[in-house]
């Protein structure tokens, strides 16, 4: 079969998430290099800092063309946005991140991704030098940590919006989990930037990397890609773990449509309190309603919904569960079977309200895995039961 040229305009080169995820999704959709030759056209860079190390890895092996043309348009004006045009030799892709996500999920549903980023031998050597600079013995088990705060955008002249506020969390609620991981022999590498709340305690196994003189763009990539798992809230570095295949314990995640899970991922969603009816909402209440579309704090307030962060206890219990799961020591098959059936029932009802692409989390359940912390559900049984 003749090789086709795939051309993709990448217009959102900013921060961490979009850079890694859009190109990664494209490479998974058009993963067969015998059939597709990908060219990425970038224009122009936005204000937020681009991680150059991540850019180099994401673009490795691709044809890259840089344009400064703000009016770069491939499609006639009467074409709706989000289109793919094909001819005998070419595929022109002019769609955004969410459309790419849905295409990739359809391609890889209940599978492993076709393509993952990886480090070269030279990059691994650079990483060993970083470990030395942080006094981490080679071969030590590492957990990377990132908890989103508003400082990054504000420091780059971009006002934090209500959507970002919805994804923020307090680092102090992670202290018990940090202490547990240290007791278990893990080295914790906390990622972020110098606007983050500095950790108030120190330990030889705890590296508050943004405040180290050794911190650079490559720190995030190396330690996430070499982590036992990534403990995080929803933010740009989350996607780095996604694209390298690192297991993710994703905390304080709003229960919205931008959710997907792979083999070893675990979610802790934020809780939703309905002030009008004085009740905490179950997953069914949220997934089978328009609450799934809440994307910012202002919208939640308008609907009388208070979105509540995970507690220290919930994060600690889920961290213990994550370690046990990855070690193959957390087998609760009967409980998983019950929860899977619960979500199958929800999926049937949700399908009458939403398209399948709007509730992708429902498609990642089977009898052997549940991408939601069971310990979290045990602490909050109303999540899978009617009423409180």
**Residue spans in the chain of domains classed CATH 3.40.50.2000:** 121-384
The C-alpha atoms of residue 28 and residue 32 are separated, in whole angstroms, by 8
Whole-number percent of the chain with pLDDT over 90: 44
Query: What proportion of the chain, given as a percentage, has pLDDT over 70?
Result: 82
Structure tokens at 113: 């991704």
Query: pTM for this one?
Result: 0.89
Q: Which whole-number Å values give the CA distances from 357 to 28, 112, 124, 325, in the listed order?
A: 17, 18, 37, 28
**CA–CA distance from 137 to each of 118, 128, 378 (Å)?**
22, 9, 37
CA-based angle 342:346:352, to the nearest 5? 160
Examine the pLDDT at 182 and tell me if it is beyond 80.
Answer: yes
Instruction: Name which of 78-87, 98-107, 280-289 the model is least confident about.
Output: 78-87
pLDDT score of 50 = 65
> How far is residue 183's CA from residue 162's CA, in Å, rounded to a whole number?
37
- For the chain, the average pLDDT equals 84
The pLDDT of residue 116 = 94
User: 39 vs 4, 228, 357, CA distance in Å?
Assistant: 11, 33, 27
Would the pLDDT of 103 be above 90? Answer: no
252 Ramachandran zone, left/alpha/beta (phi>0; psi -120 to 50): left
pLDDT score for 387: 47
Compute CA 346 distance to the chain's CA centroid, rounded to the nearest angstrom.
23
Q: In this predicted structure, which of 72-76, 85-89, 112-116, 181-185 has the lowest mean pLDDT?
A: 72-76
Q: How many CB atoms lie within 10 A of CB 385?
A: 13
| Distance separating alpha carbons of residues 375 and 319, to the nearest angstrom | 9
pLDDT of residue 127: 97
pLDDT top residue among 48 and 193: 193
pLDDT of residue 164: 57
Estimate to the nearest angstrom the gap between the alpha carbon of 169 and the chain centroid. 15
Question: What number is the average pLDDT over the span 362-367?
Answer: 59
- pLDDT at position 360, please? 59
Contact 232, 322 (CB under 8 A): no
- Of residues 110 and 168, the one with the higher pLDDT is 168
pLDDT at position 163: 57
Using one digit for the tens of pLDDT, what is the confidence trace for 250-295? 999 988 766 778 889 999 999 999 999 999 999 999 888 888 878 7
Question: Which pLDDT tens digit goes with each residue over 123-164?
Answer: 999 999 999 999 999 999 999 999 988 755 555 455 555 555
Report whether pLDDT(317) > 80.
yes
State the DSSP string of 101-116.
Answer: HHHHHHHHTTS--S--
Q: Is the pLDDT of residue 181 over 60?
A: yes
The DSSP code for 75 is: S
Give strand pairing partners of 109.
Answer: none
Please give the CATH architecture assigned to the domain spanning 121-384: 3-Layer(aba) Sandwich (3.40)
| Phi and psi torsions of 94, nearest 5° | -135, 60
Confidence category of residue 388, pLDDT binned at 50, 70, 90: very low
């Amino acid at each position: 079969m003749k090789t086709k040229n795939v051309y993709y305009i990448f217009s959102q080169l900013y921060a961490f998430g979009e850079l890694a995820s859009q190109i990664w999704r494209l490479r998974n959709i058009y993963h067969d290099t015998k059939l597709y030759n990908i060219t990425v056209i970038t224009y122009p860079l936005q204000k937020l800092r681009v991680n150059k190390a991540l850019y180099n890895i994401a673009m490795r092996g691709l044809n890259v063309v840089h344009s400064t043309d703000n009016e770069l348009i491939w499609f006639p004006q009467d074409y709706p946005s989000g289109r793919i045009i094909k001819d005998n030799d070419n595929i022109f892709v002019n769609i955004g991140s969410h459309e790419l996500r849905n295409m990739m999920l359809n391609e890889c549903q209940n599978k492993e991704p076709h393509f993952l980023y990886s480090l070269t031998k030279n990059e691994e050597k650079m990483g060993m030098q970083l470990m030395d600079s942080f006094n981490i013995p080679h071969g030590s088990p590492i957990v990377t940590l990132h908890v989103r705060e508003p400082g990054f955008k504000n420091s780059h002249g971009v006002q934090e919006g209500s959507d970002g506020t919805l994804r923020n969390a307090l680092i102090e609620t992670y202290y018990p989990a940090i202490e547990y991981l240290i007791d278990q022999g893990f080295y914790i590498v906390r990622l972020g930037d110098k606007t983050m709340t500095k950790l108030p305690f120190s330990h030889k196994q705890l590296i508050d990397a943004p405040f180290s003189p050794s911190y650079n763009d490559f720190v995030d990539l190396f330690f996430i890609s070499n982590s036992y798992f990534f403990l995080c809230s929803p933010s740009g570095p989350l996607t780095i773990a996604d694209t390298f295949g690192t297991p993710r314990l994703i905390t304080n995640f709003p229960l919205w449509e931008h959710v997907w899970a792979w083999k070893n991922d675990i979610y802790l969603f934020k809780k939703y309190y309905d002030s009008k009816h004085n009740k905490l909402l179950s997953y069914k209440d949220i997934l089978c309603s328009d609450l799934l579309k809440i994307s910012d704090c202002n919208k939640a307030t308008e609907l009388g919904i208070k979105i509540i962060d995970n507690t220290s206890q919930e994060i600690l219990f889920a961290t213990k569960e994550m370690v046990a799961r990855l070690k193959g020591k957390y087998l609760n098959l009967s409980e998983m079977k019950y929860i899977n059936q619960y979500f199958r029932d929800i999926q049937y009802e949700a399908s009458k309200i939403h398209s399948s692409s709007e509730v992708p989390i429902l498609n990642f359940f089977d009898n052997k895995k549940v991408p939601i912390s069971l310990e979290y559900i045990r602490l909050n049984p109303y999540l899978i039961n009617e009423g409180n």
